[in-house]
Structure 1
Amino acid sequence: MIYYRVAFCVEQATVENIEHIQSHGSQAITQQAVWKWRSTLLTSPHALFTLLRAYSYIPKDNIRVFFASSETEMDDMLARQNAGQISSSVSADQFLAGKRINTIDVKRLEFELSMEADHDEPYTFTLPMSIAERMAWTALLQKRQRGELES
C-alpha cells in the first residue's frame, strides 16, 4: 500500500555549497526550500486530489506530494527533502500532470536508502553459469575496452 502526504514550502533557507567551496575555493550560497507537513497520512489518490483542489489558491511549486510505504518512511523522506537529498516526492504540478511513483519504485527507493543493507561489503564478480549470459558479458567487456561504453 502506498501512503500520500502533502507538504508546503514554508521558507527558503540559505545553504552553503561545501563541494563548491572545496573544488573552486570560493563560497557558493544557494536557496533551499524548507518543507513542513500540511496533511495527515492519506491512503487514496482520490483523497489526495480533493486535498490538492482545496489548496488550489497556493502556487503549485510550493506544494509537494510525498509517497511512502509507512508513516516512519514518510518522515524520513521529508527529512531527506529538507536536506536537499533524493526523496520519493513530486511537485503538485507534476502530480496533477500525471507523474506518479508506483509501489515498486517507492519500496525500491526506501530499500536503497535504508541503513539495514551493508554497503561496505566488497563486490566480487563471478561469471554467469549460462553460455548466453557469458557471451553477453564478453560483448559488453569488448565494447568497454573499445571505448564504446563509459565506465
Structure 2
Amino acid sequence: MWGYTLRGKDTMIYYRVAFCVEQAPVESTEHINSHCQALTQQMVWKWRSTLLTSPHALFTLLRAYNYIPKENVRVFFASSETEMEDMLVRQNAGQISSSVTADQFMSGKRINTMDVKRLEFELNTDKDHDEPYKFTLPLSISERMAWIALLRKRQQGELES
C-alpha cells in the first residue's frame, strides 16, 4: 500500500493539515547561511482540518486542495490532539516537528508510529531526561555477578562503551 504505519501496539497516529498563512521575517538569522536568502522567511501555519485517523481521508483532503502550492500545505502527525497542538507551535517557532510537506506525503514519505512517539517523548518537557544516571549494584548475588562479568569484559576491551 502506501507504507504508512497507522497503529503501533497501543498507539494511533492522527493526521492534521495546516496551510501557510503568511511568511514572517526570521528575527535571528545568524545560523542561516548567507547563500540561502530564501530561508530568511519563516512560514506561519494554521490548521485547515480536524484530526484525521486514516490515510485515505487525508489523501482525499489533500486532493481537494490540489490547487494550493504543495509547499504551502503541511501534514502533521501525532499520537494525541495535545501533541498535535504542540507540533504546530514548534513548527511556527522554526523548531523540529513531526510534519512533512504535502508533496513529501503524496510522494510516499514514510511515517513510522515509533518515530512519532520517539519525537514526542524526546520533546516532552514534563521531566528532564538529561539527568545523569546513578548506578547502584543490584541486591541479588546472581545479578551482581552478571554486572561484574560485564565490567570485566568491558575492561578487557571485549565490549564497546
TM-score (norm 1): 0.77
In the other structure, the counterpart of 2:159 is: 136
Hey, which bits of structure 1, 4+ residues long, moved more than 6 A? 125-128
Residues 1:129 and 1:33: Cα distance change in structure 2 (over 3 Å): farther
Q: Greater relative contact order (Cα 8 A, min sep 6): structure 1 or 2?
A: 2
Q: Contact 2:24 / 2:41 at 8 angstroms: preserved in 1? A: yes
Q: Percent identity?
A: 77
Residues 1:47 and 1:131: Cα distance change in structure 2 (over 3 Å): same
SS in 1 for 2:49: coil
Amino acid at match of 1:40: T
In the other structure, the counterpart of 1:52 is: 62
Residues 1:52 and 1:17: Cα distance change in structure 2 (over 3 Å): same
Distance (Å, rounded) in 2 between the aligned partners of 1:89 and 1:62: 13
The alpha-carbon deviation at position 122 of structure 1 amounts to 2.4
Amino acid at match of 2:104: Q
1:114 is the counterpart of 2:124: yes
Q: Contact 2:29 / 2:40 at 8 angstroms: preserved in 1? A: no
Deviations 1:86-121, CA, capped at 9 Å, x for gaps = 000000010011112211111110000001232352
Alignment of 1:72-111 (within 5 A): 72-111=82-121
Which has a greater percent of helix? Answer: 1
1:3 is the counterpart of 2:26: no
1:41 is the counterpart of 2:12: no
Larger Rg: 2
The alpha-carbon deviation at position 18 of structure 1 amounts to 6.3
Question: Aligned-residue CA RMSD in angstroms?
Answer: 2.7
The alpha-carbon deviation at position 130 of structure 1 amounts to 3.5
TM-score (norm 2): 0.72
Distance (Å, rounded) in 2 between the aligned partners of 1:128 and 1:12: 58
Residues 1:124 and 1:103: Cα distance change in structure 2 (over 3 Å): same
